[in-house]
Every structure is written in C-alpha cells, then in structure tokens.
A = this chain, B = another copy of it.
C-alpha cells in the first residue's frame, strides 16, 4: 500500500459502496469496525488467508468505506462513519442494524 487511495468524501460512489458491502466477509469487517475503534490488521481474525484479507480491505478502502493509516510496517484501519453519514445519511445505521445476520463473523484475536 505505497499510495493508499482514499476517495474524497464527495467522490464516494454509492454503487461501489454497495458492492463493497455485498460480500459477507467485508460486511463482517465493517460490523467489527462499527464501534468506531481503530484496529490493526493483525488483530482481525477472519477465515481467509492474509492475501485475501488484504484484497478485501483494499476494496473497502477504494470504495471509501474505511480509511487506512500506516505506522511503521503496521496498518490501522477504521470505519469512515462520519464521511459515510454525511454522504449517505442514515445508510450505515440502517445497514448495521440488519447486517449481523448475513455477515461472516470477524472477531479479534486474543488480546
């Protein structure tokens, strides 16, 4: 992730957001991040390989759903809740209240 590409808030495209959230695993990631806390890659316990997880996080990032911050070799990710709320008012809340049923559960590795 040499150049983490994050779309500006105004450039977030609805269909891309929907595509990003249409995958159960990515929806699970968003559910986990919905508490607003920033997480490090390594904390995330998802049932896919490292490279696949990287791809999914890239997809979320490219759609404007999450924002990634680098610190040394580590990456931290958090939900762009405020940006999404201002671009698509009410959408995130509506999704989160129904999402847990369909999302692939993503948890945190033991502290």
Contacts and interface: CB of A to CB of B under 8 A. Distances in A.
A34 to B, nearest CB: 14
Most buried by B among A22, A87, A93: A22
A89 interface: yes
A15 B27 CA distance: 8
Given A14-B102, A102-B14, A91 B89 contact: no
Contact of A91 (B15, B16, B91): B91
A18 B30 CA distance: 14
A22 B23 contact: no
* This chain: copies in complex: 2
Interface size range on A against B: 20 to 34
A76 interface: no
Interface in A79-111: 87-91, 93-95, 97-99, 101-103
Contacts of A89: 94, 97
